[in-house]
Chains A and B, each alone.
Chain A
Amino acid sequence: MQKNLILKTLFIIGILLIFVFGIFGIPGSFNLDGIKDSLLQRIHLGLDLKGGAHLILEVQVNEAVGGETDHAAELLKEQLQKSNISYASIGKPDPDKHPEQIVVKGVPPNGSTELRRIVSEQLPTYDLSGSGDTYTVTLKASAISELKNRTVEQSVEAISQRVNTLGVSEPVIEEHGVGNYQILVQLPGVDDLARVKEIIQSTARLELREALNHGATYPDEQSARAAQPGGVLPPDTVLLHGQKSVNDRTDSVFLVSRVPVVSGTDIKTAEAGHGGKTGGPIVNFYLTTSAGEKFARFTAAHSETSANPSNLAIVLDNQVIEAPSIQSEIHDSGIIEGGFTEQTAHDLALKLRSGALPASLRYIQETTVGPSLGADSIRKGVQAAVVGMVAVMVFMLFYYKGAGINADLALFLNLVILLGFMGFTGATLTLPGIAGVILTVGMGVDSNVLIFERIREELRHGKAPAAAVDQGFARAWITIIDTHVTTIVSAFILFIFGTGPVKGFAVTLTFGLLANLFTAVFVSRVIFDAILSRKQRGEALSI
Chain B
Amino acid sequence: MEFFRDTNIDFLGKKWYFLGFSLIFSIAGLLSMFFWHGIPLGVEFRGGTLVYVRFVDKPNEDQIRQALDRAGIHNAQIQHYGPSSSNDELIDLPQSSNAGADVTRSEDQIIRALEAISGGQQDFRKDLNYAGSDALRTVLAVRDPLHAAPDTYDKITRQILDYRDSKQGGLIRSFDDLQKAGVPAAAVEALKQDGFFISNFHVFGQETVGPQIGAQLRKQALLATLYSMAGMLIYLWFRFEMIYGVAAVVACFHDTLITVGAFSLTNNPITLTVIAAILTLVGYSMNDTIVVFDRIRENVKLMRRETLAEVVNRSINQTLSRTILTSGLTFLTVLSLYLFGGEVLHGFSLALVIGILIGTYSSIAVAAPMLVAYQEWRASRSGRRPVPVATQAGKGKVRVKA
Contact with B along A452-494 (1 / 0, CB 8 A): 0100110000000000000000010011001101111111011
Q: Contacting chain B: which of A135-143, A193-201, A242-250?
A: A193-201
| Contact assessment for A445 and B329 in the assembled complex, using a CB-CB cutoff below 8 Å | yes
Query: Which residues of A lie under 8 Å from residue B352 when comparing CB positions?
Result: 439
Q: Which of B225-246 contact A (CB under 8 A)?
A: 227-228, 231-232, 235, 239
| Contact assessment for B282 and A490 in the assembled complex, using a CB-CB cutoff below 8 Å | yes
| Contact assessment for A195 and B134 in the assembled complex, using a CB-CB cutoff below 8 Å | yes
Partner of B287, one of A396, A399, A431, A446: A446
Q: Contacting chain B: which of A97-105, A269-277, A379-387?
A: A379-387
Q: Contacting chain B: which of A3-11, A15-23, A498-506, A525-533?
A: A498-506
Q: Which of B327-376 contact A (CB under 8 A)?
A: 329-337, 339-342, 344-345, 348-349, 352
Which 9 A-B residue pairs are closest in the complex by CB-CB distance? A192-B132, A442-B330, A372-B170, A380-B342, A490-B283, A388-B336, A364-B210, A388-B333, A191-B132
Partner of B205, one of A363, A370, A489, A496: A370
Taking the complex as formed, is B259 at the interface, i.e. its CB lies under 8 A from any CB of chain A? no
Partner of A497, one of B213, B221, B280, B334: B221
Query: Which residues of B lie under 8 Å from residue A193 when comparing CB positions?
Result: 132
Taking the complex as formed, is A32 at the interface, i.e. its CB lies under 8 A from any CB of chain B? no
Taking the complex as formed, is B152 at the interface, i.e. its CB lies under 8 A from any CB of chain A? no
| Contact assessment for A398 and B1 in the assembled complex, using a CB-CB cutoff below 8 Å | yes
Complex Cα gap A446–B232 (Å): 19
Complex Cα gap A456–B2 (Å): 10
| Contact assessment for B342 and A493 in the assembled complex, using a CB-CB cutoff below 8 Å | no
Query: Which residues of A lie under 8 Å from residue B349 when comparing CB positions?
Result: 435
Complex Cα gap A381–B336 (Å): 10
| Contact assessment for A371 and B161 in the assembled complex, using a CB-CB cutoff below 8 Å | yes
Taking the complex as formed, is A432 at the interface, i.e. its CB lies under 8 A from any CB of chain B? yes
> Distance (Å) between the CB of A317 and the closest chain B CB?
14
| Contact assessment for A449 and B322 in the assembled complex, using a CB-CB cutoff below 8 Å | yes
User: Which of the four size classes fits the interface of chain B?
Assistant: 35 or more
Partner of A502, one of B107, B164, B276, B290: B276
Given contacts A432-B348, A446-B287, A490-B232, 13 further A-B contacts (CB under 8 A): A194-B125, A195-B134, A365-B44, A366-B208, A372-B164, A372-B204, A392-B332, A438-B336, A442-B329, A442-B333, A443-B284, A475-B298, A486-B290
Taking the complex as formed, is A180 at the interface, i.e. its CB lies under 8 A from any CB of chain B? yes
Query: Which residues of B lie under 8 Å from residue A399 when comparing CB positions?
Result: 1-2, 325
| Contact assessment for B336 and A502 in the assembled complex, using a CB-CB cutoff below 8 Å | no
| Contact assessment for A442 and B332 in the assembled complex, using a CB-CB cutoff below 8 Å | yes
Complex Cα gap A391–B333 (Å): 8
Query: Which residues of A lie under 8 Å from residue B161 when comparing CB positions?
Result: 191, 371
Taking the complex as formed, is A94 at the interface, i.e. its CB lies under 8 A from any CB of chain B? no
Complex Cα gap A381–B282 (Å): 23
Query: Which residues of A lie under 8 Å from residue B344 when comparing CB positions?
Result: 48, 373, 377, 380, 431
Query: Which of B216, B221, B344 gathers the greatest number of chain A CB atoms within 10 Å?
Result: B344
Query: Which residues of A lie under 8 Å from residue B224 when comparing CB positions?
Result: 493-494, 496-498
Taking the complex as formed, is A318 at the interface, i.e. its CB lies under 8 A from any CB of chain B? no
| Contact assessment for B330 and A502 in the assembled complex, using a CB-CB cutoff below 8 Å | no
| Contact assessment for B291 and A493 in the assembled complex, using a CB-CB cutoff below 8 Å | no
Query: Which of B125, B165, B169, B321 gathers the greatest number of chain A CB atoms within 10 Å?
Result: B165
- Please name the residue on chain A nearest to B295 by beta carbon: A479
Q: CB within 8 Å of B: which residues of A?
A: 48, 51, 56, 58, 177, 180, 190-195, 197, 343, 362-373, 375-377, 380-381, 383-385, 387-389, 391-392, 395-396, 398-401, 431-432, 435, 438-439, 441-443, 445-446, 449-450, 453, 456-457, 475, 478-479, 482-483, 485-491, 493-494, 496-499, 501-502, 505-506, 509
Query: Which residues of B lie under 8 Å from residue A364 when comparing CB positions?
Result: 103, 209-210, 212-213
| Contact assessment for A370 and B125 in the assembled complex, using a CB-CB cutoff below 8 Å | no
Chain A at the B interface: mostly helix, strand, loop or mixed?
helix
| Contact assessment for B102 and A192 in the assembled complex, using a CB-CB cutoff below 8 Å | no
> Distance (Å) between the CB of B249 and the closest chain A CB?
11
Contact with A along B271-282 (1 / 0, CB 8 A): 011011001101
- Please name the residue on chain A nearest to B43 by beta carbon: A367
> Distance (Å) between the CB of B279 and the closest chain A CB?
5
Complex Cα gap A388–B328 (Å): 12
Complex Cα gap A301–B10 (Å): 99
Contact with A along B87-123 (1 / 0, CB 8 A): 0000000000000001110011000000000000000
Complex Cα gap A486–B239 (Å): 11
Taking the complex as formed, is B207 at the interface, i.e. its CB lies under 8 A from any CB of chain A? yes
> Distance (Å) between the CB of B52 and the closest chain A CB?
7
Known contacts: A371-B161, A376-B169, A486-B287. The answer to whether A442 contacts B210 by CB under 8 A is no
Query: Which residues of B lie under 8 Å from residue A58 when comparing CB positions?
Result: 210, 212
Complex Cα gap A380–B348 (Å): 14
- Please name the residue on chain B nearest to A53 by beta carbon: B206
| Contact assessment for B325 and A501 in the assembled complex, using a CB-CB cutoff below 8 Å | no
| Contact assessment for B273 and A479 in the assembled complex, using a CB-CB cutoff below 8 Å | no
Query: Which residues of B lie under 8 Å from residue A392 when comparing CB positions?
Result: 329, 332-333
> Distance (Å) between the CB of B138 and the closest chain A CB?
8
| Contact assessment for B104 and A395 in the assembled complex, using a CB-CB cutoff below 8 Å | no
Known contacts: A381-B341, A435-B337, A489-B232. The answer to whether A368 contacts B348 by CB under 8 A is no
| Contact assessment for A487 and B287 in the assembled complex, using a CB-CB cutoff below 8 Å | yes
Contact with A along B147-177 (1 / 0, CB 8 A): 0000000000000010011101110000000
| Contact assessment for A192 and B133 in the assembled complex, using a CB-CB cutoff below 8 Å | yes
- Please name the residue on chain A nearest to B325 by beta carbon: A449
Query: Which residues of B lie under 8 Å from residue A385 when comparing CB positions?
Result: 336
| Contact assessment for B283 and A486 in the assembled complex, using a CB-CB cutoff below 8 Å | yes
Taking the complex as formed, is B286 at the interface, i.e. its CB lies under 8 A from any CB of chain A? yes
Query: Which residues of B lie under 8 Å from residue A456 when comparing CB positions?
Result: 2
| Contact assessment for A365 and B330 in the assembled complex, using a CB-CB cutoff below 8 Å | no
| Contact assessment for A482 and B334 in the assembled complex, using a CB-CB cutoff below 8 Å | no
